[in-house]
Amino acid sequence: MEDRAAELLPVPYFHVVFTLPAEISDIAYQNKAVIYDALFKASSETMLRIAADPKHLGAKIGITSVLHTWGSAMTHHPHVHMIVPGGGFSPDGTAPVSPAESRLASGKTGQPKAPQERWIATKPNFFLPVFVLSKLFRRLMLEKLTAAHAAGKLAFFGRHAHLKTVPAFTKFLAPLRRKRWFVYAKEPFPGPKAVLAYLSRYTHRVAISNSRLLKADDTGVTFRVKNYRVDGAARYTTMTLDPYEFIRRVLLHVLPKGFHRIRHTGFLASGGKADNIVRARVLLDEQPPEPAPVETTEQANIAPSRTCPCCGGVMHIIETFERGAPPRHRAEPSRIVIRIDTS
């Protein structure tokens, strides 16, 4: 996380979510690699295109996308969470100069003032219009699905087996061209620490966190769920599933081998990310973060803190006893009788 902290800029960070309709989610389970990849590409292309449009922002933005495939009840619900800095570079690497500035500069030097690069910031608490994003996302995603089907990259089984033919697949997509696709823009993160907290909490979690597990035995697994359609205390409830059904739902979210859950696009793409962050800091007139202090010989001689191999927390010595002797301390039994490593 220290590396991620060094990449954060002193600007608001927006949180945008692109969700596939339920009809596409059904066939995505049978075509994870193809449709998840299309979801990544269609959502990022949508953001980059609309942000570059001078009618909206007129800037080249950077995006960190995180794929989630689950809802609160661990059903199959593919969607992409995006973390986006509030602004970017103008698409051609320069910023326009006003006619007045150009005339003033040409009067002094005899030459028109050349455009200079600058950071283009978003409006406070507003990034891009979600309705515009939704329409373009729908078109791009349907185009990618049609192309994948024509190239023979999609497979269909069970009740979807009839979609192998072009007429059937075209008919299947037709209602989705008129349906509204949901793009949700959440409130900006309150600060860089909140961005880091989100990344550390969600980027490597799969389906369910240990803290939501309440009970497990031969009859079922009980865990906390959240109903997003309800507000107030009734929003949070519990669900108990048969052990086999619980395992089935967890396995729904295993990604294809080699598939990456996190992707960076725009000026945060891996190839030029380091240079672009330096450029952004210069334009924002911000100094780069200070490097971590070098460890002194005195500090190196201090015994390293013991960390827990499960959670990474610091472990404290509560008792020392001789080899073969029983410890006097007895830990209290845990209330949670199971543990699933979802890292």
Is the pLDDT score of 261 beyond 80? yes
More confident residue, 193 or 168: 168
More confident residue, 93 or 124: 124
Q: How far is CA 135 from CA 42, 140, 183, in A?
A: 11, 9, 9
Tell me: the pLDDT tens digits for 218-246?
999 999 888 877 777 778 889 999 999 99
Tell me: the pLDDT tens digits for 124-172?
888 899 999 999 999 999 999 999 999 999 999 999 999 999 999 999 9
More confident residue, 194 or 67: 67
Model pLDDT, residue 320: 79
Model pLDDT, residue 141: 96
> Which two tokens mark 271?
């190839």
Model pLDDT, residue 197: 77
**Strands across the sheet with 236-241, in order?**
213-217, 220-226, 236-241
Is the pLDDT score of 288 beyond 60? no
Tell me: the pLDDT tens digits for 22-73?
999 989 999 999 999 999 999 999 999 999 999 999 999 999 999 988 888 8
How high does pLDDT run on average in the chain? 81
Q: Which residues contact 19 (CB under 8 A, 6 or more apart)?
A: 77, 78, 79, 181, 182, 183, 184
